[in-house]
Structures are given as structure tokens and as C-alpha cells.
A = this chain, B = another copy of it.
Amino acid sequence: MNIGQASELSGISSKTIRYYESIGLIPAPARTDSGYRDYSHPEIETMRFIQRARNLGFTIKDVCELIDLWHDQHRASAQVKSLTQRHINEIEIKIKELESMRHTLVTLAEKCHGDDRPDCPILEDLAALNIGN
């Protein structure tokens, strides 16, 4: 099947499939006589695996490792779990950062009149007057 169909079945755009091939995440597929990429079902399965892992926020590098583990019959599930736990930790750090930003921004926005006058606690906070810090 050609790249367009592979794209539809995997949920990865044709552009991105070519990109994944170029960085070695996906192996180069067979080609038709005219040079079109020609995929078969196992390759679509790999793409779907990649797409799901990406949707869970794993980096490309993580996905490489996950594919290796997936193909390794002698893997220890501890390896997968550890990679996943590391990823969860990163996500939790990111969530905390974003929640802290959100809290500050909401507090500032609440104090701002949001009318046609120029005085604005948001800008004042960013400018901070640099007296007390």
C-alpha cells in the first residue's frame, strides 16, 4: 500500500512518515517500480505503536527504546516500567510548572480591570519596579 493509505491507517501524516524514515525511526520500506513507497501490514502496526506512544507524550528517543523493548523477547518488564515512570515524573514536573504559572497569571488577571484605562497590575508585576527584589 502507498504512503497515503499508510498515513490513514496509522494516523501519521505522509510528511511525518517520511520524516520518521529519514531519522531511522521507521525502516525504509519496499518500493514499487515507479519508486513509490510500498508498505505492508506489519509496518502499519509499527506506525500505530509509534503514534500511540507519541500521543502519550513519549519523545522520539523514548519511542526508539520502546520499539526495541517491544521487539526484544527477553526484555524485563522492569525496563519498560522504569522508562514509563521517568516519563511520568517529567510530566508531573511540567504540570506543576504550568499550574504555578496559571496560578500567578489568574491572580494577576483578576486584579486587572481590563477596561480602557492604562493602569494594569499585570504590567506592573512584570516591570516589578525592582525595589523589593
Q: Which of chain B's residues have a CB closer than 8 A to the CB of A52?
A: 125-126, 128
Tell me how many chains of this kind the complex includes: 2
Chain A residues 72 to 89 lying within 8 A of chain B, measured CB to CB, are: 72-78, 80-82, 84-85, 87-88
Partner of A75, one of B73, B108, B118, B127: B118
Give the secondary structure class of A's interface.
helix
Chain B residues near A21 (CB, 8 Å)?
none
Contact A73–B127 (Cβ < 8 Å): no
CA distance A66 to B104 in the complex (A): 16
> Which of A's residues lie within 8 Å of B, judged by CB?
45, 48-49, 52-53, 55-57, 66, 69-70, 72-78, 80-82, 84-85, 87-88, 91-92, 94-95, 98-99, 101-102, 104-106, 108-109, 112-120, 122-123, 125-128, 130
Cβ of A81: which chain B residues have Cβ within 8 Å of it? 109, 112-114, 120, 122
A76 to B122, CA, bound (A): 12
